[in-house]
C-alpha cells in the first residue's frame, strides 16, 4: 500500500487507527526503530481495557529511490510491563499425580531416565571385577599383570574364578609373611553377585536408576511423609527412627525411609522418613480413661443469708365452706377413725353419711 507525500509517523498512526476497533484505543507515540533494508517500526501505546502495557506496532518500508513509504504490517504486541497469561506448559508436564484416577494409565516410555536395565545371567558374570575386561586385579600401589594377581590369589587361598582385593590403606610387603593371616581380603564371587541380585530384586527387566531413586527420595522427603509436615512438629521429637512400628527398607532408600505399620497412624502402610513423626509413636503411653461422672465437693456459703419472702395463704371458698359445715368435732372424729384403721373407720363414715341424708 504505497503512500506518497506523507510523514512516516503520521502514516503509521493512521494505520493503527484503522486497525483498532475504536480510535480511542490508540495512545501516544512511544518511539521508532529503523532496521535493515529500509524497514522501520513505529510504536504507539495501547489504551484497550485489559491490554495495559501492550503496544501498537506498525512496520513501514521506505523506498529510497522513489522516496515512498509502504505499509508492511501492523499488530498488537506485549510491552515490557504488559499483562500476560501464564507461560504455556505442555500437557504432560502440567499433569499432576492427583489428576489421575484408578482407571487412568500414563505408561512408561522405553527410554525413561528413571529406569535402567536389570541384571541378567550375562550381566552378573560381567559384574565381577576383572571379568571380561582384562583389568588388573592387584590392589592400589601394586605392580604386575593379571597373571601375577592370580598367582597371589591362589597362594592366599582365594577360590578359582574369584577376585581378591586389598583393604584400602593397607600395603603388603614381601617381608610381612607372618602378618598374612591378619590381612583382610575382600573376595567377590559369582555366588555373591547372585545373592545380591536376589536380595535386592535386580533380576527384573528394568530397575530404578540413580536418578529415579533421587527423585523419589526428594519427593517423599519434601512431602507429607517428610520431617516438615504438621504432624512431625506436633510429635514432640518422637520420630519414626525409634518407633517399633517402622519397617526398614533395603538398599540406598533404607538410609532415609521406612514403612509405617501402625494401624492407628494416619501414615499406616505408607513410606515415611526416619525423622518423620505422626503422633502415634510406639513409646507413647495411652491416656488414662476419665470416670463417667465426676462428683464435685459440695460448696456451702456461710457468709451470706438468703431472705425468702413467704407467700400468703391461698384462700379457697369451697374448702372454707366444707370446714364450716362439719365443724371441728367432726374433723377430729374422722381423724380418729383413720388412725384406728380397718373397716370400723369406713363404717363410721358411711353412718355419718346416712345421717346427712
Dump pLDDT digits (tens) for 196-211.
888 888 888 899 999 9
d(CA 253, CA 273): 10
347-355 mean pLDDT: 47
What is the reported pLDDT for 128? 54
Whether 220 maps to a domain, the answer reads yes
Question: Do 18 and 55 have their domain in common?
Answer: yes
What is the reported pLDDT for 325? 81
| Position 56 pLDDT exceeds 70 | yes
Whether 348 maps to a domain, the answer reads no
State the average pLDDT for the chain.
Answer: 77
60-85 mean pLDDT: 88
| Position 275 pLDDT exceeds 50 | yes
What is the reported pLDDT for 97? 83
The Cα-based distances of 72 to 10, 11, 93 in angstroms read 15, 12, 38
Domain assignment of residue 252, given as a range? 210-273
Question: Where is pLDDT greater, at 248 or 158?
Answer: 248
| Position 213 pLDDT exceeds 60 | yes
Give the model confidence (pLDDT) of 287-302 as tens digits: 887 777 877 888 888 8
The residue to which cell 502440567 is assigned? 94
Whether 149 maps to a domain, the answer reads no
| Position 222 pLDDT exceeds 90 | yes
What is the reported pLDDT for 146? 44
Largest CA distance in the chain: 153
Give the model confidence (pLDDT) of 85-129 as tens digits: 888 988 878 888 888 888 888 888 889 999 999 887 666 556 555
Give the model confidence (pLDDT) of 162-174 as tens digits: 444 444 445 555 5
What is the reported pLDDT for 83? 84
What is the reported pLDDT for 106? 81
Question: Where is pLDDT greater, at 336 or 198?
Answer: 198
What is the reported pLDDT for 184? 44
pLDDT band of residue 156 (cuts 50, 70, 90) is very low
CATH of the domain at 45: 3.10.450
Question: Do 7 and 47 have their domain in common?
Answer: yes
What is the reported pLDDT for 151? 44
Question: Do 10 and 53 have their domain in common?
Answer: yes
d(CA 157, CA 260): 46
SS3 94: helix
| Position 338 pLDDT exceeds 70 | no
Question: Do 74 and 22 have their domain in common?
Answer: yes
Question: Do 229 and 253 have their domain in common?
Answer: yes
What is the reported pLDDT for 58? 93
| Position 152 pLDDT exceeds 60 | no
Question: Do 14 and 58 have their domain in common?
Answer: yes
Dihedral (CA of 262, 268, 269, 275) sign: negative
d(CA 189, CA 153): 13
Whether 299 maps to a domain, the answer reads no
Question: Do 198 and 239 have their domain in common?
Answer: no
What Rg, from alpha-carbon coordinates, does the chain have?
50
Whether 148 maps to a domain, the answer reads no
What is the reported pLDDT for 149? 42
Nearest of 94, 96, 51, 99 to residue 75 by alpha carbon: 51
Whether 283 maps to a domain, the answer reads no
Concatenating the DSSP letter of every residue in 201-242 gives TTTSSEEE-HHHHHHHHHHHHHSTTSTTSHHHHHTTT--GGG
What is the reported pLDDT for 267? 94
Backbone angles phi, psi at 122, to 5 degrees: -70, -35
Give the model confidence (pLDDT) of 174-199 as tens digits: 555 545 554 444 455 677 778 888 88
Whether 162 maps to a domain, the answer reads no
Question: Do 221 and 236 have their domain in common?
Answer: yes
Which of 76-90, 128-142, 281-295 comes out lowest in average pLDDT? 128-142
| Cα 267 to the center of its chain, rounded Å | 12
Question: Do 223 and 199 have their domain in common?
Answer: no
Question: Do 120 and 193 have their domain in common?
Answer: yes
What is the reported pLDDT for 121? 65
d(CA 219, CA 270): 13
Domain count, the chain: 3
What is the reported pLDDT for 238? 93
Cell numbers at 99, concatenated: 489428576
Amino acid at each position: 500500500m504505497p503512500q506518497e507525500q506523507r510523514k512516516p509517523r503520521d502514516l503509521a498512526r493512521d494505520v493503527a487507527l484503522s486497525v483498532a476497533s475504536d480510535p480511542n484505543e490508540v495512545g501516544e507515540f512511544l518511539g521508532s526503530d529503523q532496521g535493515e533494508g529500509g524497514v522501520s517500526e513505529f510504536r504507539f501505546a495501547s489504551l484497550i481495557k485489559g491490554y495495559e502495557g501492550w503496544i501498537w506496532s506498525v512496520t513501514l518500508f521506505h523506498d529510497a529511490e522513489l522516496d515512498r513509504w509502504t505499509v508492511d504490517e501492523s499488530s498488537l504486541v506485549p510491552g515490557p510491563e504488559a499483562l500476560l497469561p501464564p507461560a504455556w506448559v505442555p500437557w504432560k508436564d502440567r499433569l499432576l499425580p492427583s489428576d489421575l484416577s484408578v482407571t487412568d494409565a500414563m505408561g512408561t516410555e522405553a527410554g525413561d531416565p528413571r529406569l535402567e536395565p536389570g541384571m541378567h545371567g550375562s550381566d552378573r558374570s560381567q559384574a565381577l571385577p576383572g571379568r571380561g575386561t582384562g583389568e588388573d586385579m592387584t590392589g592400589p600401589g601394586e605392580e604386575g599383570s593379571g597373571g601375577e594377581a592370580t598367582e597371589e590369589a591362589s597362594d592366599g587361598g582365594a577360590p578359582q574364578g574369584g577376585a581378591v582385593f586389598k583393604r584400602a590403606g593397607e600395603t603388603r610387603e614381601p617381608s610381612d609373611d607372618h602378618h598374612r593371616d591378619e590381612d583382610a581380603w575382600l573376595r567377590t564371587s559369582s555366588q555373591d553377585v547372585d545373592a545380591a541380585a536376589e536380595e535386592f530384586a535386580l533380576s527384573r527387566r528394568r530397575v530404578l536408576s540413580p536418578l529415579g531413586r533421587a527423585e523419589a527420595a526428594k519427593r517423599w522427603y519434601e512431602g507429607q511423609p517428610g520431617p516438615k509436615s504438621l504432624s512431625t512438629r506436633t510429635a514432640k521429637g518422637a520420630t519414626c527412627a525409634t518407633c517399633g512400628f517402622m519397617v526398614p527398607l533395603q538398599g540406598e532408600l533404607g538410609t532415609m525411609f521406612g514403612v509405617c505399620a501402625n494401624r492407628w497412624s494416619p501414615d499406616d502402610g505408607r513410606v515415611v522418613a526416619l525423622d518423620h513423626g505422626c503422633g502415634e509413636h510406639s513409646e507413647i503411653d495411652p491416656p488414662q480413661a476419665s470416670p463417667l461422672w465426676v462428683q464435685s465437693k459440695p460448696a456451702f456459703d456461710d457468709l451470706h443469708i438468703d431472705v425468702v419472702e413467704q407467700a400468703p395463704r391461698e384462700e379457697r371458698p369451697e374448702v372454707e365452706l366444707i370446714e364450716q359445715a362439719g365443724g371441728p368435732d367432726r374433723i377430729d372424729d374422722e381423724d380418729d377413725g383413720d388412725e384406728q384403721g380397718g373397716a370400723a373407720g369406713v363404717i363410721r363414715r358411711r353412718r355419718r353419711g346416712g345421717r346427712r341424708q
